[in-house]
């Protein structure tokens, strides 16, 4: 029976900050001040929201004109369950809305209780968020309005501070699965064993395994090979400044390419129990493992690599790395 | 122009591939395509691939996958962050330069690890639209409503498209949505994203595809009946939804004209149409008539592998030519919201 | 000329001022570079047949496949647009792909543009996304390349401060380039040497900055180039090579793909004595020591002798016989997805005689070079003032 597939959540998130330039900045400034701006195109029509170029001809645009806060729904769909990042807390309708005074629609939400309250051609009124910062979500959404409702274009007060950047955070959730070869490697890691996979043509051994041999352009052999937790340093870096991703590491520390005995390629590991100035290319090292009761299915089981005290590996060609041959031939 | 043909094709599409990494599942496909024409990587003149970091959740994700080709010694190679159909276009252009006469093209994508509907929101205008996180189905549904309310298509026609996709997919081992359903049954489905019903939406897949191209006599040597690319072109529409007429596709129409779709009868068309509505729009843009069998594979609705679906359309069309089931075929690829960008290829037997 | 069936030439080069933060929108930044290139080539949006865009990972800006959003900003409505991504070499690869659009006879006038807006996020984040089950002891690219540089230093026994000489030279070159990000007019050799070690043996002063910026080129067919009133740069050869980033016995100091790429492009251009026949080189040097390493790998110096060229001043615009990175190079500006195209564009400017204060007198033949990934992706071109 096949082992259950290894899975782990992977969240990618970042608070992107975008500089806006004059036109997007003016539109967002307007939103903060409770005014909606469009931009005039060369045919005299008004596009809202505005861009610094005409999206059909690419010619530059700059003449901003206020438009109304009332408008007409051009098309719509129902969003029954708001997704986590959508700025709406309850079911709503997506709609393309042409504001009075503009000739092209913008995308936003219409805050109604159900799809039966939506129809193409309906009139809507912009609903401002009370606290505004210069962001498309300064518009809380649109509400149904009377057929005859008309807003009036406002004007951005003179002298207000212009919006120059906008924060657009992104968060995406994935389920990571490591694949065939790496899963076997991770399972063995839990038992304090290091596995590599082997090129079917050259016998080269790759640690961690990759599932394919880049030399042959073929899948590696299905049976992985076990390697000792000893090897040598084929080159190294000394990081002398702290890095954000590893707050646990105090500079200076050594990150070294470790070539295990029987492996054909190196991988990056942390130097341990040795002063950076004493690390040498060719130095023999062995793994420093986490205590047995803390072992997981993770490469993090190996805390780092410490000198064995054996004589250094002899390196006769500094340009080439790893070994041409694989396990059993070394 | 130098005559270039598709001489080999391999594909895999499944609802979820979670026991193999991208390179692990692509290696057998690369070798299947290369073995079909007896070429080793070192005998291939140019290699080009397509994939997306956002889909993989990893920067430089293609760097792992290139190892599958066996790039030792080094190869002449390039990568597009687009559907593999554009990788094929780049390779076709390379072959037009006359330096090399064979090319390997591949692309792949796994949608199952993330939420494709949300991931695609990051493709939208980053200042005004993406921060609202409209999902991809909602955007298409708004276009669908325009199509219906303006009378461009009817719900009955959309249901017929979805029904035909299922019927065709039944004989395609790579398709995912293969259960037959009549148009009436589909019309009885509740809306998924009104006015689109579940059967109007694409069946999401993980997978990839590989194509081998060859020029002139080399193609005739490698393949009994090469599928000659008689025309290929790609165009873009505007991105801003508000300035587009979402009931038609200007980009597909221009690309089809440039590729020469209308100069002769079209036996089959493999349209990269993720939604029933996309197929309706593309058929019109390409000017396809009743004598054309549309999406004999079931199309992208029956199995939609993001980043590979366009390349798979070209491969499916080419296979039907090579098997002698069609003499003239059209394949399309699309990218962006509501068919923003379209590539059209015309393939013929000899 | 053996490449392609048609000749192609560079008609225009457009750049933005490289800086920590470009103050405008992404579209605005690209449009500035593109309109500068169009202006030099005396063409407008309507004249362009296709756009080929290149950029490094989408995570830098958090916009998936941004050519989708940017097509309309670059005159692409109703036209073709493609997006190339080959890691750090992408700016170069993109120019090569754009050239092939003309060499193949498919198009007559192509706009190609490479860009990055690193200020939207943080390169360290985008290049080191978390990966479950794994462990990471590295900090970005420097931690990866420092062991390779250490190997080169051991192999050649090069004096320890060669890298500092490169850094100072490129920063001095940058002073004559108004587009360069870093303009360190008072920088001294002592300051370069005393700069803190980041990724030992790489000092802070020997690394590239994080920049926003875009670089655009307008390429034209022979007919278009002949009709152009201004100077053009004829493309004499283009080459791309890729190899696996890790296998046993890999030469990491001078990877096979690097040498193969150089051999291909110089053969196409009919170059026999590379050092003698090339007048200016724009090579991709994100860490100072890569200058001597590439000088050897690209065949400008014998193996083990690249550092001697640096030491002798041969690569300085000030009297050197093979000026390298007269623009200030990647060490002075690094909008990643644009960096390769800047190399290609600066090489073109040299043979067009339009490089301004960093012009190499009488430059007739120049090289643009870019690399990426685990030093595994390469793109090069050779451009000349004569057809």
Phi/psi of residue B172, nearest 5 degrees: -110, 110
- Whether B169 is in a domain gets the answer no
Pick from A19, A265, A319: which is nearest to C253 by CB? A319
- Mutation for B interface: A77, A86, A215, most B CBs within 10 A: A77
Closest Cβ opposite residue A83 in set B30, B71, B135: B135
Residues of B in Cβ contact (< 8 Å) with A217: 27, 30-31, 41, 67-71
What predicted TM-score, i.e. pTM, was given to this entire model?
Answer: 0.98
Distance CA(A63)–CA(A144), nearest Å, equals 30
- Among A residues 310-329, those touching chain B with beta carbons less than 8 Å apart: none
Measured from the Cβ of residue C35, the count of other Cβ atoms closer than 10 Å reads 17
Query: pLDDT tens-digit profile of B184-216?
Result: 999 999 999 999 999 999 999 999 999 999 999
Distance CA A64, CA A67 (A): 10
C146 touches A: beta carbon within 8 Å: yes
pLDDT digits (tens, 9 = 90+) for A241-283: 887 777 888 999 999 999 999 999 999 999 999 999 999 999 9
pLDDT number for residue C281:
98
Interchain contact A74–B (C-beta under 8 A): yes
Residue A164 confidence (pLDDT): 97
DSSP structural state of residue B196: B
CB proximity C42 to A under 8 Å? no
> How far is A179 from B17, CA to CA, in rounded Å?
9
> pLDDT tens across C371-384, in order?
999 999 999 999 99
pLDDT at C1 > cutoff 50: no
Exposure string (b/e) for A164-173, b if CB count within 10 Å is 16 or more? bbbebebebb
Q: Which residues of chain C lie closer than 8 angstroms to A59, CB-CB?
A: 45
Residue C48 lies in a domain: yes
> Residue A328 pLDDT > 60, yes or no?
no
C167 within a domain of the structure (yes/no): no
Residue C69 within any structural domain of the chain: yes
Report pLDDT for B61: 83
Contacts with C47 from chain A: Cβ below 8 Å: none
pLDDT band (50, 70, 90) for residue A3 = low
Q: Is there a domain that residue C358 lies in?
A: no
pLDDT score for C137: 73
Neighbours of A89 (CB within 10 A): 8
Please indicate, yes or no, if residue C78 is contained in any of the structural domains. Answer: yes
Q: Does the pLDDT value for residue B5 go beyond 70?
A: yes
Separation in Å, CA of A297 to nearest CA in chain B: 16
* Contact between chains at B73 and C25 (C-beta distance less than 8 A): no
Instruction: Say if B333 falls within a structural domain.
Output: no
**pLDDT range class, residue A326, cuts 50, 70, 90:** low
Is residue C367, in this structure, part of any structural domain at all?
A: no
| Interchain CB contact of C22 with A (< 8 Å) | yes
Q: Do A214 and B71 touch (CB under 8 A)?
A: yes
Integer Cα distance of C74 and C76 in angstroms: 6
Return the CATH number at B102: 3.40.47.10
The answer for residues whose C-beta is within 8 angstroms of residue C387's C-beta and 6 or more apart is C7, C222, C234
| Terminal Cα distance for chain A, rounded | 35
Strands (E), A20-158: 36-40, 46-47, 64-67, 70-79, 92-99, 106-110, 123-128, 139-144
C304, part of any domain: no
pLDDT band at B118 (very low <50, low <70, confident <90, very high): confident
- For residue range A288-298, what is the model confidence (pLDDT) as tens digits? 999 999 999 99
User: How close B114 comes to chain C (CA, Å)?
Assistant: 14
CB B49 within 8 A of CB B76: no
Which has the closest alpha carbon to A253: A243, A235, A242, A238? A238
**Selected residue of C50, C123, C203, C247 to mutate for chain A interface (largest A Cβ count, 10 A):** C247
Examine residue B52 and state whether it is found in any structural domain, yes or no: yes
Q: Is residue B290 part of a domain?
A: no
Domain assignment of residue B47, given as a range: 4-111+204-226
Bridge partners (DSSP) of residue C212 are C19, C117
- Beta bridge partners of residue C224, listed in sequence order: none
- Residues in C touching A321 (Cβ below 8 Å): 151, 248-250, 252
Q: Is the pLDDT of residue C4 over 70?
A: no
With contact defined as beta carbons under 8 Å apart, do C240 and C361 qualify?
Answer: no
Q: Tell me if residue A19 falls in helix, strand or coil.
A: strand
Q: What is the largest CA-CA distance in chain C?
A: 60
Q: Are A55 and A36 in contact (CB under 8 A)?
A: no
pLDDT score for C3? 46
Of the candidates A176, A266, A179, A267, which has an alpha carbon nearest to the alpha carbon of residue A220? A179
User: Domain for residue B215, yes or no?
Assistant: yes
ipTM of model:
0.97
Sort out which chain A residues have CB atoms less than 8 A from B21's CB and list them.
Answer: 177-182, 211
pLDDT digits (tens, 9 = 90+) for A218-238: 999 999 999 999 999 999 999
SS (H, E, C) C49-102: CEEEEECCCHHHCCCCCCHHHHHHHHCCECCCEEEECECECHHHHHHHHHHHHH
- Tell me the pLDDT band of C329, cut-offs 50, 70 and 90: very high
Q: Which of C4, C80, C87 sits opposite B97 (nearest CB)?
A: C4
How wide is the angle at C-alpha B101 spanned by C-alphas B97 and B105, nearest 5°?
95
Would you say residue C60 has pLDDT above 60?
yes
Kindly list the distances between the CA atom of residue C341 and the CA atoms of C14, C15, C56, C174, C211, in Å, as whole numbers in the listed order: 10, 10, 12, 17, 14
In a domain, C70, yes or no: yes
Task: Write the residue in B113, B118, B126 that is nearest to A18 by C-beta.
Answer: B126
The answer to whether the beta carbons of residues C78 and B254 sit under 8 Å apart is yes
Neighbours of chain B (3+ CB pairs under 8 A): A, C
Residue B29: inside a domain, yes or no?
yes
State pLDDT tens for residues C89-121.
Answer: 999 999 999 999 999 999 999 999 999 999 998
Q: What percent of chain C has pLDDT over 70?
A: 98
Query: Is residue B264's pLDDT more than 80?
Result: yes
Name every chain A residue with its beta carbon within 8 A of the beta carbon of C292: none
CA atoms within 13 A on the CB side of A39: 22
Query: Residue C5: pLDDT above 80?
Result: no
Tell me whether residue B303 is in a domain. no
Assign residue C42 a region (left: φ > 0; alpha: ψ between -120 and 50; beta: otherwise): left
C64 vs B contacts (CB less than 8 Å): 52, 54, 119-120, 122-123
CB-CB neighbors (< 8 A) of A243 in chain C: 124, 139
Residue B105 lies in a domain: yes
Closest-CA residue in chain A for B64?
A: A210
How many other C-beta atoms can be found within 10 angstroms of the C-beta atom of residue B33? 23
> Mean pLDDT throughout C261-279?
98
CB contact A245 to B (< 8 Å):
no
Backbone angles phi, psi at B59, to 5 degrees: -75, 145
Question: Which chain A residues have a beta carbon less than 8 Å from that of C130?
Answer: 10-12
pLDDT computed for residue B66 by the predictor: 97
CA–CA gap between residue C275 and residue B77 (Å, rounded)? 27
pLDDT value of position B150: 97
Parallel/antiparallel/unpaired status of strands B204-215 and B304-305: parallel
Q: What is the tally of structural domains in chain B?
A: 1
pLDDT at B306 over 80: yes
What is the average per-residue pLDDT within B297-318? 98
- Nearest CA-CA distance, residue B193 and chain A, Å: 6
- Residue ranges of alpha helices (H) inside chain B are 22-36, 53-56, 62-65, 84-96, 116-119, 136-149, 155-169, 183-187, 216-222, 250-259, 276-286, 299-302, 309-322
Spatial CA neighbour of B113 closest among B218, B204, B25:
B204
Residue C247: closest CA among chain A residues belongs to which residue? A265
CATH number at residue C30: 3.40.47.10
Q: For residue A142, what pLDDT is reported?
A: 98
The answer to whether C127 contacts chain A (CB < 8 Å) is no
User: Which among B75, C74, C20, C237 has a CA at the least distance from the CA of A215?
Assistant: B75
Please check whether residue A91 touches B, CB under 8 A.
no
A89 pLDDT band (50/70/90 cuts)? very high
- The reported pLDDT for the residue numbered C15 is 98
Which domain range does residue C68 map to? 8-123+211-227
d(CA A19, nearest CA chain C) in Å: 5
Check C57 against B73: CB less than 8 A apart: no
Confidence of residue A5 (pLDDT cuts 50, 70, 90): confident
Say what the pLDDT of residue A56 is: 97
Best mutation target, A214, A215, A265, to test chain B (most B CBs within 10 A): A214
Work out how many domains chain C is built from and give that number.
Answer: 1
């Amino acid at each position: 029976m096949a082992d259950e597939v290894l899975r782990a959540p992977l969240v990618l998130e970042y608070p992107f900050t975008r500089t806006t330039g004059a036109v997007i900045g003016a539109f967002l400034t307007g939103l903060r001040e409770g005014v909606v701006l469009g931009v005039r195109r060369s045919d005299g029509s008004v596009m809202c929201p505005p861009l610094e170029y005409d999206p059909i001809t690419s010619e530059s645009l700059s003449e901003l004109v206020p438009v109304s806060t009332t408008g007409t729904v051009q098309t719509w769909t129902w969003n029954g369950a708001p997704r986590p990042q959508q700025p709406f807390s309850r079911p709503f309708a997506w709609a393309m809305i042409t504001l009075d005074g503009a000739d092209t629609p913008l995308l936003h939400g219409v805050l109604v209780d159900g799809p039966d309250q939506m129809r193409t051609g309906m009139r809507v009124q912009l609903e401002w968020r009370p606290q505004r910062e210069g962001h498309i979500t300064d518009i809380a959404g649109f509400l149904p309005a009377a057929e005859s409702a008309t807003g009036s274009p406002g004007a951005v007060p003179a002298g207000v501070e212009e919006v120059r950047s906008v924060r657009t955070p992104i968060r995406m959730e994935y389920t990571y699965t490591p694949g065939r070869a790496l899963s076997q490697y991770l399972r063995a890691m839990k038992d304090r064993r290091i596995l590599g996979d082997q090129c079917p043509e050259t016998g080269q051994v790759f640690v961690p395994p990759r599932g394919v041999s880049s030399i042959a352009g073929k899948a590696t052999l299905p049976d992985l090979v076990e390697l000792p937790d000893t090897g040598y340093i084929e080159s190294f870096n000394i990081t002398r400044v702290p890095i954000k991703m590893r707050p646990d590491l105090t500079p200076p520390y050594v990150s070294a390419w470790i070539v295990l005995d029987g492996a054909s390629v190196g991988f990056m590991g942390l130097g341990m129990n040795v002063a950076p100035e004493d690390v040498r290319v060719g130095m023999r090292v062995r793994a420093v493992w986490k205590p047995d009761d803390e072992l997981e299915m993770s490469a993090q089981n190996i805390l780092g690599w410490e000198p064995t005290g054996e004589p250094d590996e002899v390196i006769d060609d500094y340009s080439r790395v790893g070994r041409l041959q694989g396990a059993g031939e070394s | 122009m130098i005559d270039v043909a598709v001489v080999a094709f391999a594909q895999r599409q499944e609802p979820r591939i979670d026991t193999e990494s991208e390179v692990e599942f692509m290696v057998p496909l690369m070798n299947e395509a290369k073995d079909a024409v007896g070429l080793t990587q070192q005998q291939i003149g140019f290699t080009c691939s397509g994939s997306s970091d956002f889909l993989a959740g990893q920067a430089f994700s293609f760097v792992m996958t290139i190892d599958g080709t066996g790039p030792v010694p080094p190869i002449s190679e390039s990568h597009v962050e687009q559907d593999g159909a554009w990788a094929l276009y780049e390779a076709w252009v390379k072959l037009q330069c006359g330096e090399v006469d064979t090319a390997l093209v591949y692309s792949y994508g796994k949608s199952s690890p993330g939420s494709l509907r949300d991931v695609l929101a990051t493709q939208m205008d980053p200042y005004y639209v993406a921060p609202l996180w409209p999902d991809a189905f909602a955007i298409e549904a708004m276009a669908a409503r325009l199509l219906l309310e303006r009378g461009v298509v009817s719900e009955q026609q959309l249901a017929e498209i979805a029904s035909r996709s299922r019927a065709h997919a039944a004989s395609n081992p790579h398709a995912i949505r293969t259960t037959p359903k009549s148009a009436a049954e589909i019309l009885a489905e509740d809306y998924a994203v009104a006015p689109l019903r579940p059967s109007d939406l694409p069946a999401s897949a993980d997978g990839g595809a590989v194509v081998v191209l060859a020029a002139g006599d080399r193609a005739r040597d490698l393949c009994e009946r090469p599928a000659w690319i008689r025309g290929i072109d790609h165009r873009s529409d505007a991105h801003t939804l508000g300035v587009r007429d979402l009931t038609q596709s200007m980009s597909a129409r221009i690309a089809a004209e440039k590729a020469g779709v209308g100069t002769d009868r079209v036996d089959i068309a493999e349209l990269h149409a993720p939604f029933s509505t996309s197929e309706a729009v593309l058929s019109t843009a390409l000017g396809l008539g009743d004598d054309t069998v549309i999406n004999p594979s079931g199309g992208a609705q029956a199995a939609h592998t993001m980043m590979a679906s366009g390349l798979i359309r070209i491969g499916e069309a080419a296979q039907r030519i090579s098997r002698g089931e069609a003499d003239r075929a059209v394949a399309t690829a699309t990218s962006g919201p509501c068919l923003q960008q379209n590539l059209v290829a015309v393939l013929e037997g000899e | 000329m053996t490449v392609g069936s048609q000749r192609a030439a560079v008609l225009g080069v457009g750049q933005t001022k490289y800086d920590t933060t470009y103050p405008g929108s992404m579209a605005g930044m690209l449009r500035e570079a593109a309109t500068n290139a169009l202006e030099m080539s005396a063409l407008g949006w309507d004249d362009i047949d296709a756009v080929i865009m290149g950029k490094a990972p989408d995570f830098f800006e958090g916009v998936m496949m941004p050519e989708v959003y940017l097509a309309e900003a670059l005159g692409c409505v109703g036209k073709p647009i493609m997006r190339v991504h080959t890691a750090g070499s992408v700016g170069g690869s993109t120019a090569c792909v754009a050239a092939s659009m003309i060499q193949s006879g498919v198009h007559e006038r192509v706009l190609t543009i490479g860009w990055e807006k690193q200020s939207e996020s943080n390169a360290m984040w985008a290049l080191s996304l978390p990966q479950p089950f794994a462990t990471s002891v590295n900090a970005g690219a420097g931690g990866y390349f420092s062991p390779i540089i250490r190997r080169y230093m051991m192999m050649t026994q090069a004096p320890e401060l060669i890298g500092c000489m490169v850094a100072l030279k490129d920063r001095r070159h940058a002073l004559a380039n108004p587009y360069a990000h870093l303009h360190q007019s008072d920088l001294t050799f002592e300051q370069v040497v005393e700069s803190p070690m980041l990724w030992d043996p790489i000092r802070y002063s020997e690394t590239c900055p994080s920049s926003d910026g875009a670089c655009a080129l307008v390429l034209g067919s022979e007919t278009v180039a002949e009709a152009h009133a201004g100077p053009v740069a004829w493309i004499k050869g283009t080459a791309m090579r890729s190899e696996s980033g890790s296998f046993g016995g890999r030469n990491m100091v001078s990877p096979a793909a690097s040498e193969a790429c150089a051999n291909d492009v110089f053969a196409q251009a009919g170059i026999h004595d590379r050092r003698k026949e090339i007048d200016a080189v724009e090579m991709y040097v994100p860490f100072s020591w890569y200058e001597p390493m590439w000088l050897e790998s690209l065949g400008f110096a014998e193996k083990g002798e690249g550092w001697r060229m640096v030491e002798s001043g041969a690569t300085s615009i000030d009297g050197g016989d093979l000026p390298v990175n007269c623009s200030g190079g990647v060490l002075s500006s690094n909008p990643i997805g644009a960096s390769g195209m800047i190399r290609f564009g600066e090489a073109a400017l040299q043979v067009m005689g339009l490089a301004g204060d960093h012009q190499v007198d009488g430059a007739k033949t120049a090289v643009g070079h870019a690399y990426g990934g685990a030093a595994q992706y390469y793109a090069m071109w050779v451009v000349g003032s004569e057809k």
